[in-house]
Structure 1
Amino acid sequence: MTIALTFHGGAGTVTGSKYLLETPRSRVLVDCGLFQGLADLRRRNWAPLPRALTDIDAVVITHAHLDHCGYLPVLVRSGWRGPVYATPGTAALVPIVLEDSAHLMTEEAAHANKYGWSKHRPALPLYDAGDARKAIGLLEELEYGVETTVGKDMTLRFGQAGHILGSAWAQLRSDGREVVFSGDLGRPAHSLLRPPSPRPPCDALVLESTYGSRVHHDTDAMDQLGEVIRRTARRGGSVLIPAFAVDRTEVVLAALAKLMRSHTIPDLPVYVDSPMALAALRVYREAFRDHWPEIRPELAGHDPLTPRSLTELRTVEESMRVNAPRMPSIIISASGMASGGRVLHHLEHMLPDHRHTVLIVGYAAPGTRARSLANGARQIKIHGRYTTVRADVAQLDAFSAHADADELVRWATAGAPPKSTYLVHGEPEASAAVAERLHTEHDWQAVVPRDRERVLI
């Protein structure tokens, strides 16, 4: 029996993950992500739905980040109504992510129409709250380690990926052949979550490669964070941290709480300014309280996520009051790549002031404002106008929730080699770097697939 795998996103790029697995009787889509970053990629979200995706039997979601689940409402808008399988943690976070995405798209379209900065007349959202609710209604929970049938002749099993709460690698089996999708792999050093569970045996491995050409340096990450905060506070400025609402906000809060408890940094006011981040924070706190399986056992039953002087900003009015902080403070706001959300208003107000610091604490895709800032841009376009960058910009990759190159290779190779390995969800040079290491160091067949390429398993 032939099993085919087609790459409808996440091939040659670090966004828009969609992988179609087909047998003669079943068609299952693994991840259903939104394209983000470069304009050419974002335009792909608006292209007509590929015919290959119109009659699938099921969707498997590895975790709740937009580039893995954010296209679900588009699929549903086309009339699709199949099951969407996810772990309980992912099923708790996907509604938060999709509802926020729909809200921001609608809000941005309204802003563009009001101020005329879009070339589209009228500007429309890709999807709305109704589409998001329909997609959320299709979620079906599957616990880690439990096997279930998807489609007519496939089975699915999730294992812990350690990337964010609920994240999983997915093992799909049909007619004795197995394909493993890594999803986004986390780090053994993640401060809140257990490390990824071992890769199971498989015939084909689809491996992410976000940090495939880089190695994180953990040894002085907390010292660097403390120094950035102290240096900024000494000159009377505030630190703005664009952070992914799911997991990165929690990791940063835990680090700030630890630094304050040790008196390494002053007890500055800490603001979390993102409705989505606050909703995700409630899920994480529930996970700690109820001892969810992916939480590090030494943290279960505790709340490590509340530094002193923490204020949760819920309303637009509260958010606006910290646009120009009157005293040194720390503002954590989504989105992590500065592609939308309340962080844009803070950037508009704070970037022109040399006293402030913008701290990038995660992966920034090409074409995003966070990448431009990290690359030293002196002007950033926000809401149709350019803003001058006088603030300091710092970057700390060690707070990333993505496995680095060494960790990816270590996880992939801890077991019998698959017949083929496909490097996805990475910039071309990052994917090629992992493929080369697997080939030269382990004599594996490892390739970087092209977008829309179809291979046989």
Structure 2
Amino acid sequence: MKLTFFGGAETVTGSKILIEVNYKKILIDCGLFQGLKELRKKNWEALPIDLNNLTSVILTHAHLDHSGYLPLLVKNGYKGFIYCTKPTRDLTEVILLDSGKIHEEDAKRANKYHYTKHKPAKPLYNIQDAKDAIQKLKGFDFDKWFPIDENILFKFVNSGHILGSAFVLLKINEKIIVFSGDIGRKHPIILNPYKYITHADYLVVESTYGNRVHPTSTIKSKLLKYINHTYSKGGSLIIPTFSVERAQEIIYILSVLKQEQQLPKIPIYLDSPMGVNATNIYYSHKNHHNLSEQTIQNMQSTVQLISEVQASRTIVNDESPKIVLAGSGMLTGGRVLHYLNKMIEDQKNSILIVGFQADGTRGRALLSGDSELKFFGKYHKIKAEVFKINEFSGHADQSELLDWLQHFKTPPLLTFINHGEPHQSQALKTKLKTTLNWKCTVAKMNEVYYLN
């Protein structure tokens, strides 16, 4: 057996792990690179895998950095199925269609306003490519073994990161290899918490927050503080929002504040076609979260869901105070840029960052205190106030990673640490060696690892 990391190693994006055994080639996750330009350029490079011989693809969850390369994989010749949990199947469909649409729109806008050196600019992939990949998705239940062949089985176990997210367990010739994907919080806001796993011969574990412990202050009170502060200025609060998980968490907290009659009487919008679709998927998969029917009804009455372009334009041009949740979460594209185009140069408005911002994204630039932001081909002065709530993270911190890892009854033969910026991965490696005395290594991009 051997492992090769074609993404998600020494970085937090582009997750792709190839395992080869018994003449089978299985790809765990198939994500897009995001953030820094040198990473994004990798999306245009051909994968060094013979796609005719790729047996299967297995997804840990639906996020774009784990699923967003699938349309290219299929376009370039992959003929097999893509295995995932049933909620992941539904969310991946929404995410890939949105991604294809954004790639098409970005290329069209770049050609129209001539802010690209490519003549013409072309989308990485289009909506039809996304539809072709969606046709290959197959949904499975949690906690059951399913065969790839007579020697290879796979199982999904809840990881608590987003709806449908899972640890992937492979049983190969009686050896167990566990891929963590992204691990959620021990006490998530709306999801069922991650399950413990007690045995792995080999383990691949994420390290997004490998050296950090999340703060424990109350999210609800912080969110209310920024809402009231912005309202007191007569401005609007713009929340760049990840459409899957973060949007639903914020809607839930806003609904609680509304039930407690603490919110000012201003409209609240979720302006994101993908966010709207993802929210409805959350409501439909009732066994995979802890929301009651009444809670769902409260959420539905708190936030107006906006999909149509004309309705979005009307809200963008409305100068009265409001709260807007809009994608994308790292300001890499999407409708949030139209709100910023209108509001970022007015100090009465506020921008609230509620999630991880990868290096090289506009969201990271905002948090770094940059004085201007470039989008739509020009620079915009940042005069709106910028705030951040760290407590919203959907990733386990170091203490939660250790909580999950300590439930293995015996140490894996080798633990691969991936999906983290270098200092985070190295910190987790040191912690595992000193605390658990585990044998571990930080995964490196394109390096082949042989498993006994």
- 1:323-367 C-alpha deviation (Å, 9 max, x unpaired): 244322110000101101111111121111111111111111000
Match of 2:403 in 1: 410
State whether structure 2 residue 6 is matched by structure 1 residue 8: yes
**Cα distance in 1, alignment partners of residues 131 and 342 from structure 2:** 34
CA distance in 1, matches of 2:50, 2:212: 35
Deviation at 1:27, TM superposition (A): 0.9
Q: Distance in 1 between matches of 2:253 and 2:397?
A: 20
User: What's the Cα RMSD here?
Assistant: 1.5
Instruction: Indicate yes or no: 2:239 matched with 1:246.
Output: no
Quote the residue 1:326 is aligned against: 319
Superimposed CA distance per residue, residues 250-275 of structure 1 (whole angstroms, 9 cap, x where no aligned partner)? 00100111112223332321011110
The whole-number CA distance in structure 2 between the counterparts of 1:232 and 1:307 is 24
Report if aligned partners of 1:31, 1:61 keep a CA contact under 8 Å in 2: yes
1:112 to 102, 110, 113: 110
Asked if 2 retains the 8 angstrom alpha-carbon contact of 1:409 and 1:434, the reply is no
Contact 2:51 2:78 in 1 (8 A): no
Q: Distance in 1 between matches of 2:293 and 2:440?
A: 39
Q: Which amino acid aligns with 1:364?
A: Q
Verify the 8 A CA contact 2:251 2:303 in the aligned structure 1: no
Structure 2 counterpart SS, 1:155? strand
Q: Distance in 2 between matches of 1:212 and 1:178?
A: 24
- Per the alignment, residue 375 of structure 2 pairs with 382
1:22 to 20, 23, 37: 20
Q: Give the TM-score normalised by the residue count of structure 1.
A: 0.95
- Report the CA distance between 1:315 and its aligned residue: 1.8
Residue pair 1:337, 1:369 contacting (<8 A) in 2 also: yes
* Alignment partners' CA distance in 2, 1:234 and 1:315: 30
Q: Please state if 1:435 is matched with 2:429.
A: yes
Asked if the contact 1:18–1:29 (Cα under 8 Å) also holds between the matched residues in 2, the reply is: yes
Q: From the superposition, tell whether residues 305 and 210 of structure 1 become closer, same or farther in structure 2 (CA, over 3 Å).
A: farther
Q: Which residue of 2 aligns with 1:43?
A: 41
Cα pair 1:161 1:195 within 8 Å, conserved: yes
Aligned to 2:310: 317
Whether the 8 Å CA contact 2:51–2:77 is kept in 1: the answer is no
Quick one: structure 1 residues 347 and 305, their matched pair in 2 at CA, closer, same or farther if it must change by over 3 Å? farther
Task: Give distance in 1, aligned partners of 2:237 and 2:399.
Answer: 31
C-alpha distance after superposition, 1:22-64 (max 9, x if no partner): 1123110000000010000000000123135552100001111
1:142 is the counterpart of 2:140 = yes
Post-superposition shift, 1:301? Answer: 6.6
Q: Which amino acid aligns with 1:421?
A: T
How many pairs were matched up? 450
- Distance in 1 separating the partners of 2:443 and 2:186: 27
Among 397, 418, 435, the residue aligned to 1:424: 418
Q: Which runs of 5+ in 2 are unaligned?
A: none
Amino acid at match of 1:72: L
Match of 2:304, SS?
Answer: strand
Which of residues 339, 347, 355 in structure 2 aligns to 1:354? 347
1:322 Cα offset (Å)? 2.4
List per-residue Cα deviations over 1:348-395 (Å, max 9, x = no partner).
Answer: 211111111111111110001111111111111002100110111111
Residues 120-139 of structure 1: matches in 2 within 5 Å?
120-139=118-137
Q: Judging changes above 3 Å, is the alpha-carbon distance between structure 1 residues 157 and 403 closer, same or farther for their aligned structure 2 residues? A: same
State the percentage of identical aligned residues: 39
**Structure 1 residue 165: deviation in Å?**
0.7
Q: Deviations over 1:278-317 (max 9, x none)?
A: 1111111112xxx32x212x63674066265522222222
Kept in 1: contact 2:2–2:449 (CA 8 A):
yes
Q: Could you tell me how far 1:436 is from its partner in structure 2?
A: 1.0
Please give the residue correspondences for 1:54-453 in structure 2 after superposition, counting only pairs within 5 Å: 55-150=53-148, 153-287=151-285, 291-292=286-287, 294-296=288-290, 299=292, 302-303=295-296, 306=299, 308=301, 310-416=303-409, 417-453=411-447
Q: Which runs of 5+ in 1 are unaligned?
A: none
Q: Which amino acid is the alignment partner of residue 342 of structure 1?
A: R
Q: Does the residue aligned with 1:322 lie in a helix, a strand or coil?
A: helix
In the alignment, is the contact (CA less than 8 A) between 2:52 and 2:79 conserved in 1?
A: no
Instruction: Provide the C-alpha distance between the structure 1 equivalents of 2:293 and 2:421, rounded to a whole number of angstroms.
Output: 36
Distance (Å, rounded) in 1 between the aligned partners of 2:297 and 2:417: 35
CA contact (8 A) 2:345 2:382 kept: yes
Q: Does the C-alpha gap of structure 1 residues 9 and 39 become closer, same or farther in structure 2, counting only changes over 3 Å? A: same
Tell me the alpha carbon deviations over residues 433-453 of structure 1, each in whole angstroms, 9 at most, x when there is no partner. 111111111111121111011
Contact 2:271 2:324 in 1 (8 A): yes
The answer on whether the counterparts of 1:26 and 1:151 sit within 8 Å (CA) in structure 2 is: no
| Residue identity opposite 2:191 in structure 1 | L
Structure 2 CA distance for partners of 1:252 and 1:418, relative to 1, 3 Å: same
Distance, in Å, in 2 between the alignment partners of 1:309 and 1:245 is 17
CA offsets, 1:60-107, max 9 Å, x none?
011110000000000001111101100000011111000000000001
What is the identity, as a one-letter code, of the residue corresponding to 1:449?
A
Write the distance in 1 (CA, Å) between the matches of 2:123 and 2:76. 15
Mapped to 1, the partners of 2:253 and 2:18 lie a distance apart of: 39
| 1:199 Cα offset (Å) | 2.0
Q: d(CA) in 2 for partners of 1:51 and 1:141?
A: 25
